[in-house]
Amino acid sequence: MDPVLRTDRLVLRRLDDVDAAFLVELLNEPSFLRYIGDKNVRDDEGARRYLAEGPKASYARYGYGLLLVSTLEGEKAGMCGLLKRDWLPDPDIGFAFLPRFWSRGYAYESAAAVIDHGRRTWGVGRVAAITSPDNEPSIGLLKKLGFRFEREAVAPGGGGEVKVFASEPASAG
Ligand SMILES: CC(C)(COP(=O)(O)OP(=O)(O)OC[C@H]1O[C@@H](n2cnc3c(N)ncnc32)[C@H](O)[C@@H]1OP(=O)(O)O)[C@@H](O)C(=O)NCCC(=O)NCCS
């Protein structure tokens, strides 16, 4: 599988069925369940269903979607990418990493590269981000990426209260 993106320390490529076991681990991390939600992925079959309905459907429809983030040594560390939700006008950035890869700057490095690539390749302008109101690691990361708090909202489908952030393209200030 060809990489979509490379950074100094990371390789990003489209998620595929070979990543099922990794997704079972990531999507059941306490931090993922707490801050993103329960995707009901408990085994490889559930992961393949999640891939088909989520990332793969997004690649087919929009070109972009959540990507697998690996180290240069090939360790699967997390995922990061642009999503398009029906209830938000702009694409939003998503990220989640296994705890053993936290605090190395990987989330920042991959998110910055994904946003830059989205603007150059997919014509993305404004990028949104949504977080639980108490997700301090994510809010801190978004601020470091240059996002500004915009508003509070209630995510449809039982997503609860969220904070909405936005990043404008450089030319728009
Ligand atoms: C959010 C998440 C991806 C951050 O990963 P990470 O590896 O810590 O991020 P980085 O190492 O790239 O850190 C980048 C910046 O994030 C911010 N940050 C990270 N952890 C933080 C914390 N505990 N409190 C406040 N800010 C934090 C800091 O600004 C940090 O920059 P710094 O190291 O210069 O201070 C990670 O906590 C995670 O996977 N959480 C579970 C899934 C999730 O909540 N995803 C977001 C849903 S909206």
pLDDT tens string, the chain, 173 residues long: the values are 899 999 999 999 999 999 999 999 999 999 999 999 999 999 999 999 999 999 999 999 999 999 999 999 999 999 999 999 999 999 999 999 999 999 999 999 999 999 999 999 999 999 999 999 999 999 999 999 999 999 999 999 888 999 999 999 986 54
DSSP three-state, residue 59: helix
* Residue pair 78/26 in contact by the 8 Å Cβ criterion: yes
Give the chain's length. 173
* Pocket test residue of 79, 102, 110 for ligand 1, highest count of atoms within 8 A of CB: 102
Q: Tell me, yes or no, if the pTM score tops 0.95.
A: yes
Q: How far is the CA of 137 from the centre of ligand 1 (A)?
A: 4
* Residue pair 5/12 in contact by the 8 Å Cβ criterion: yes
Atom of ligand 1 nearest to the CA of 111: 12
Residue whose token pair is 């240059």? 146
What percentage of the chain's residues is helix, strand, coil (to nearest 5)? 40, 30, 35
Q: What is each CA distance from 88 to 42, 70, 157, in whole angstroms?
A: 29, 29, 13
Q: How far is the CA of 140 from the centre of ligand 1 (A)?
A: 6
